[in-house]
Amino acid sequence: MRRRRFGSVRARASLGATAVVAVALLAAGVAVLLSLRSNLTEQAGRQADRAAREVALDIASRVPDRIAYAQLDLPDEEDHPVQVTDGAGRLLVASEGLERISGTGVREVRATTGAAAPADAAASDDDDADDDSDDDASDDDDGPAVGEIGDTTSYTSGRATVDGDTADYRFAAVEVTDRAGRTVLVHAGASLADRQSAVAGTTAAMLAGLPVLLLVVGGVTWLVTRRALRPVEGIRRELAAITASQDLSRRVPEPATRDEVARLARTTNETLTALERSVERQRCFVADASHELRSPIASLRTQLEVGEAHPALLDVPGAVADTVRLQRLAADLLLLARLDAGERPAGAAPFDLGALVRDEIAQRTQDRFPVVLDVRPGTEVAGSRGQLARVLGNLLDNAQRHAAGSVAVSVRRSGSSVVLTVTDDGPGVPEAERERIFERFVRLDDARSRDDGGAGLGLAIARDVAARHGGTLTAGRAEGGGALFELRLPPSGGGPAPDGP
461 within 8 A of 332, measured Cβ to Cβ? yes
C-alpha to C-alpha distance for 449 and 124, rounded to whole angstroms: 154
Residues 23 and 108 both lie in one domain? yes
Residue 291 has pLDDT above 50, yes or no: yes
3-state secondary structure of 280: helix
Confidence of residue 43 (pLDDT cuts 50, 70, 90): very high
According to the model, what pLDDT value does residue 136 have?
43
Nearest of 215, 222, 160 to residue 191 by alpha carbon: 160
**Domain endpoint, select from 340, 368, 397:** 340
Res 423: pLDDT:
94
pLDDT of res. 348: 66
Which of 315, 340, 365 terminates a domain? The answer is: 340
Q: Which residues lie across from 420 on neighbouring strands?
A: 411, 487
**CA distance to 340, 345, 386, 485, per residue, from 335 (Å):** 9, 11, 12, 21
Let me know whether 289 and 399 are in one domain. no
List the domain range (segments joined by +) for residue 362: 349-489
Q: Are residues 25 and 166 in the same domain?
A: yes
**Largest Cα–Cα separation, the chain:** 171
* Range of lowest pLDDT (22-31, 300-309, 404-413, 426-435): 300-309
Are 117 and 217 part of one and the same domain? yes
**Coil vs helix vs strand at 306:** helix
Least confident of 236-240, 358-362, 443-447: 443-447
Q: Is 308 helix (H, G, I), strand (E, B) or coil?
A: helix
CA angle, residues 351, 354, 355, in degrees to nearest 5? 70
In a domain, 252, yes or no: no
Distances (CA, A) of 75 to 72, 80, 149, 162, 393: 10, 6, 18, 13, 118
* Radius of gyration from C-alpha coordinates of the chain: 54
Helix (H) or strand (E) segment spanning residue 82: strand 82-86
CATH code for position 419: 3.30.565.10
Spatial CA neighbour of 398 closest among 333, 475, 338: 475
In a domain, 361, yes or no: yes
Q: Is residue 496 part of a domain?
A: no
Residues 253 and 484: their CA atoms lie apart, in Å, by 45
336 in the same domain as 238: no
C-alpha to C-alpha distance for 11 and 17, rounded to whole angstroms: 10
138-196: pLDDT as tens digits: 444 567 888 788 889 999 999 999 888 888 999 999 999 888 888 899 999 998 988 88
Q: How far apart, in whole angstroms, are the C-alpha atoms of residue 445 and residue 130?
A: 142
- Using H for helix, E for strand and C for coil, what is the string for 131-198? HHHHHHHHHCCCCCCCCCEEEEEEEEEEEEEECCEEEEEEEEEEEEECCCCCEEEEEEEEECHHHHHH
3-class DSSP state for residue 119?
A: coil
Domain boundary among 291, 310, 340: 340
Residue 235 shares a structural domain with residue 303: no
C-alpha 344/C-alpha 338 separation (Å) is 9
315 class by beta-carbon count within 10 Å (0-12 exposed, 13-18 middle, 19+ buried) = middle
The average confidence (pLDDT) of the chain is 81
- Between 296 and 83, where is the model more confident? 83
Q: Are 282 and 274 spatial neighbours (Cβ–Cβ below 8 Å)? A: no
Give the chain's domain count. 3
pLDDT for residue 306 is more than 70: yes
Rounded Cα–Cα distance for residues 131 and 181 (Å): 12
Residue 25 has pLDDT above 50, yes or no: yes
Residue 257 lies in a domain: no
